Amino acid sequence: MKRIPYGRQSIGLTDAFELAKGVFSPWLTLGPHVEKFESDLCKVARSENAIVVSSGSAALHCAYAAIDLGPGDEVITTPLTFASTATTAMNLGARVLFADIQPRTGNLDPRSIESLVSPRTKAITVVDYAGLPADLDKIMAIGKKYAVPVIEDAAHSLGSFYKGNPVGSLADITTFFFFSD
């Protein structure tokens, strides 16, 4: 059976050399390579800070923990995503509400989000489906209107732009994930 790749990597000799330097350094998971990566990520996403963790699920957990998500809180998100977008919120005791998506993009429909906002809404978590940024202008306006932080699960959209702004520079918190097939 022929396997269809999920994605393709673009790794050159310079990349392999940098990887080898990290693997053979005393700092395999921390240290100057991670600090440089975080700094470079900030430049790409035009963000003030970045924290590297072990997985996309861990990043979402950190994002939810940063806003003190817990029992009795609600998160509005999309059903069209990897399970961690919802389960990390559920693991903290929150209730997850699924908004409708836009059929053309697969991204959250802002009108559906607003219909689900309640006094218990603690976060709106959007997913940039297939690397296409969500309608962040409208979604951020909803977040601002109800004083609810917007978390952008940008697992597939590092390097993408929304109306000239890099993904990572618009939402209150953005998470990225680096996956290879």
- Kindly report, residue by residue over 102-144, the tens digit of the pLDDT: 999 999 999 999 999 999 999 999 999 888 999 999 999 999 9
The answer to whether residues 58 and 45 belong to one domain is no
Q: What is the mean pLDDT of the chain?
A: 90
The answer to whether residues 65 and 137 belong to one domain is yes
72 — pLDDT class (breaks 50, 70, 90): very high
Edge to edge, what strands does the sheet with 74-77 contain?
95-98, 74-77, 121-127, 150-153, 173-175
How many distinct structural domains can be found in the chain?
Answer: 2
Instruction: Please determine, for residue 6, whether its predicted confidence score (pLDDT) is greater than 90.
Output: no
At 7, the amino acid letter reads: G
Range of the domain at 37: 11-52
- Residue 76: CATH number of its domain: 3.40.640.10
Residue 78 lies in a domain: yes
- Asked whether the beta carbons of 41 and 48 are under 8 A apart, the reply is no
The answer to whether residues 72 and 46 belong to one domain is no
List beta partners, residue 126.
152
Closest CA to 129 of 98, 108, 100: 108
The answer to whether residues 138 and 169 belong to one domain is yes
CA–CA separation, 13 and 25 (whole Å): 18
Residue 1 lies in a domain: no
Closest CA to 146 of 179, 107, 115: 115
The answer to whether residues 31 and 60 belong to one domain is no
Residue 146 lies in a domain: yes
Lowest mean pLDDT among 21-30, 64-73, 88-97, 164-173: 21-30
Helix, strand, or coil here: 135? coil
CA–CA separation, 125 and 88 (whole Å): 11
The answer to whether residues 60 and 144 belong to one domain is yes
Burial track 55-71 (b if 16+ CB lie within 10 A, e otherwise): ebbebbbebbeebebee
Residue 96 lies in a domain: yes
The answer to whether residues 118 and 156 belong to one domain is yes
Task: List, in order, residues 6 or more apart from 142 with CB less than 8 Å away.
Answer: 110, 113, 114, 117, 124, 148, 150
The answer to whether residues 47 and 58 belong to one domain is no
